[in-house]
Amino acid sequence: GAGVSQSPSNKVTEKGKDVELRCDPISGHTALYWYRQSLGQGLEFLIYFQGNSAPDKSGLPSDRFSAERTGGSVSTLTIQRTQQEDSAVYLCASSSDLAGGVATDTQYFGPGTRLTVL
Amino acid sequence: KQEVTQIPAALSVPEGENLVLNCSFTDSAIYNLQWFRQDPGKGLTSLLLIQSSQREQTSGRLNASLDKSSGRSTLYIAASQPGDSATYLCAVLNSGNTPLVFGKGTRLSVIA
Q: Which amino acid is at B78?
A: A
User: Are A56 and B96 inside 8 Å of each other by CB?
Assistant: no
Q: What is the pLDDT of residues B44-78, one digit of tens each?
A: 998 999 999 999 999 999 999 999 999 999 999 99
What pLDDT score does A53 carry?
Answer: 84
> Residue B100: closest CA among chain A residues belongs to which residue?
A45
Q: Which amino acid is at B32?
A: N
User: Are B97 and A101 inside 8 Å of each other by CB?
Assistant: yes
Among A1-5, B22-26, B34-38, the range scoring the smallest mean pLDDT is: A1-5
Evaluate if residue B95 carries a pLDDT over 80. no
Q: Report how far apart, in Å, the C-alpha atoms of B47 and of each of A56, A114, B38, B75 are.
A: 27, 23, 10, 10
Alpha helices (H) in A7-108, listed in sequence order: none
Mean pLDDT for B98-104 is: 89
Closest alpha carbon to B68 in B47, B93, B100, B97: B93
Residues of A in contact with B93 (CB under 8 A): 104
Q: Using CB atoms, which residue from A44, A50, A104 is nearest to B93?
A: A104
Evaluate if residue A104 carries a pLDDT over 60. no
Are B62 and B75 spatial neighbours (Cβ–Cβ below 8 Å)? yes
User: Are A109 and B105 inside 8 Å of each other by CB?
Assistant: no
What pLDDT score does A105 carry?
Answer: 62
Query: How large is the C-alpha radius of gyration of chain B?
Result: 13
Residues of B in contact with A104 (CB under 8 A): 31-32, 51, 93
Evaluate if residue B96 carries a pLDDT over 80. no
User: Are A43 and B45 inside 8 Å of each other by CB?
Assistant: no
Q: Three-state SS for A70?
A: helix
Does residue B31 or residue A14 have the better pLDDT? A14
Evaluate if residue B18 carries a pLDDT over 50. yes
Q: What percent of chain B is predicted at pLDDT more than 70?
A: 96
Q: What is the pLDDT of residues A4-63, one digit of tens each?
A: 999 999 999 999 999 999 999 998 888 899 999 998 778 999 999 988 888 999 999 999
Residues of B in contact with A106 (CB under 8 A): 34, 46, 49
Mean pLDDT for B91-97 is: 77
Instruction: Choose the mutation target among A9, A94, A107, A108 for the interface with B, i.e. most B CBs under 10 Å.
Output: A107
- Angle, CA B10 vertex, CA B60 and CA B32 arms, to 5°: 50
Cβ neighbours for B107, distance < 8 A, ≥ 6 positions apart: B9, B10, B11, B86, B87
